[in-house]
Amino acid sequence: MVNIAVLGYGTVGSGVVEVIDTNSASLEKKTGSGINIKYVLDLRDFPGDRVEPILVHDFDIILNDPEVRVVVEVMGGVEPAYTFVKKSLLAGKNVCTSNKELVAAHGPELIQIAREHNINFLFEASVGGAIPVIRPINSSLTADKILQIKGILNGTTNYILTKMSQEGWDFDEALKSAQENGFAERNPEADIEGYDATRKIAILSSLAFGNNVDFEDVYTEGISKITKADIAYAKELGCAVKLLASSTCEDGKYYAMVAPFLVPASHPLYAVNGVYNAIFVNGPQIGDVMFYGSGAGKLPTACAVVADVVDAVKHLDKHIYTFWSPEKLPLTGTENATRSFFVRVNGKKSDCEDKIREQFGSVRFVSTAEDPDGFGFVTDLVAEKVFDERVRSIPGFAGRIRIEGTLS
C-alpha cells in the first residue's frame, strides 16, 4: 500500500478521493500495491464527510511523514501550491498536480528537482482535463519532430461560443449560463480573455519543442468581443467561431497564439462543442494526430490526476524523463503568419467596395440579417502585418476574425 496525501478538498480534490474510493480494487491491480489516502489538507473542516478522520490543516504534518510517497496538489493558484510542491519534491516525495498556473510558471524548475531526487513531478491533468495529451507528447510522439500544436484548450469559452451559436444567445447571456452551470467562475477573466488557454499552450509547446515557452510571450486575444453578428456571419460562411490555441515551428522560428478563429465545417475542430477540448499535433512523419475528450469537470480531471498517481506508484524509484529544459524558447511575433481574415465593416458595401478591392484584391462578400447596417468580407491569404496595414484604410472597419485553413 502506497500512502498519498491530497492538498485541497475542492472540486478536483473531492473528485480524486471519489475516484480512488470507487476504483480501489482495480487500482490495486494496476499499481500492484494499492493506494491509501493518508491525509487530506484543507483550511476548512468537513464534519461528517468521508475525509473528516484524515483531514489536516497543517502541511508540515504531511511533509514530515516519511510514509507519504506521493503528494497530490489540486489547490490551484501559484501560492501556496508552489511552496508546498517544492518542499514535497525536495523531501523526496512524488507530486501529481492539476494546477496549470503552477506548471506554466514553475514547470522546468520542479521537473529538475524531481530529476535530481529520482522521483516524478507529473501534471497530465493541467491540460485538457481527462484527455491524455501530456503523456503522449512525452512518451508516444517522441520519434518525430513536432512542428505544430493546435487546439481548443478551454472548456468555458467553448461552451459560451457553442451556446451563442446553438441558442442564438449573445455573449453575456452565454457567460451567465456558463456561470450558472458551474462551467465559468464568478470572475471569468482568466477564461474569457484567453489567459487559461495561453498557460496550457505554453505547457504543451514547452514539452513539444523541448525548451521553455513563457506563457507571457504568447500572443493572446479572448472572446469577449465576439458578437451575435460575428456568429451569424460565421454560419453564413459555413464556419463556427472557436478559441484556438496554437504554436508553430516554421523555418526554425517559433510563434504561439491564442485567438478566436472561424473554423470551417470540414475541419475536425468544427464539431468540438460544449466543454469538450481537442488537441491536434502535427509532425512531418506522424502527420496529424488528434486527442479529444472532456476538457473539464470534477471526475474527468480527477481521473487524469489519479492516472498520474498510478504512474508515480509504478515508478516510485525511477524518474520518468520529461523533455522540458529551463532554457527559454524565443518566440517571434505572429506578424509574418499568413492566413485569410474575415472582416466586418459598418456602412454600405457600395461605399467601400472599391477601396476594399484596391487593398485586398478579389474578396468574398457576405451579409447577414443580424448586421443590417454593415457587411463582411473574406480576404485571400495575407500576412498578418500586411493585413493590419491595409485594413486601416477601410472606412467603417469594425473588426476582424482570423480564419483557420481555407473556406470551401
Write down the least CB distance from residue 306 to a copy of itself, Å.
3
Would you count residue 329 as binding a copy of itself (CB under 8 A)? no
Among 293, 396, 399, 405, binds a copy of itself (CB under 8 A): 293
Specify the stretch interacting with a copy of itself by CB under 8 A; choose among 175-183, 281-289, 335-343, 352-360.
Answer: 281-289
Give dist(CA 227, CA 244) in Å, integer. 17
Q: Per rule CB under 8 A, is residue 182 in the interface with a copy of itself?
A: no
Of these residues, 93, 200, 228, 242, which one is catalytic? 200
Task: Confirm or reject binding of residue 382 to a copy of itself (CB under 8 A).
Answer: no
Q: Given candidates 13, 297, 374, 376, which one binds a copy of itself under the rule CB under 8 A?
A: 297
Per-residue x/- track, 76-115, a copy of itself (CB under 8 A): ----------------------------------------
Please report whether residue 203 would count as binding a copy of itself according to CB under 8 A.
no
Say how far apart CA 177 and CA 258 lie, in whole Å: 23
Among 103, 320, 343, 403, binds a copy of itself (CB under 8 A): 320
CB-neighbour burial class of residue 198 (10 A; exposed 0-12, middle 13-18, buried 19+): buried
Contact between 144 and a copy of itself per CB under 8 A: yes
- What's the min distance (Å) between Cβ of 33 and a copy of itself? 11
Residue 145 binds a copy of itself (CB under 8 A)? yes
Choose, by CB under 8 A, the member of 2, 4, 27, 62 that binds a copy of itself.
27
Residue 290 within binding range of a copy of itself, rule CB under 8 A: yes
**Least separation, in Å, of the C-beta of 156 and a copy of itself?**
17
Q: Is 200 annotated as catalytic?
A: yes
Q: Does 392 bind a copy of itself (CB under 8 A)?
A: no
Backbone dihedral angles phi then psi of residue 181, each to the nearest 5 degrees = -95, 5
List the x/- string, 231-270, binding to a copy of itself by CB under 8 A: -------------------------------------x--
210 binds a copy of itself (CB under 8 A): yes
**Site for a copy of itself contains 292 (CB under 8 A):** yes
Q: Is 43 in the site for a copy of itself (CB under 8 A)?
A: no
Taking the C-alpha atoms of residue 308 and residue 381, their distance in angstroms, rounded to an integer, is 43
- Residues forming the site for a copy of itself (CB under 8 A): 19-20, 22-23, 26-27, 29-30, 32, 124, 130-132, 135-136, 139-145, 210, 268, 271, 283, 285-294, 297, 299-300, 302-307, 309-311, 314-315, 318, 320-321, 323
Q: Which residues form the catalytic set? A: 200
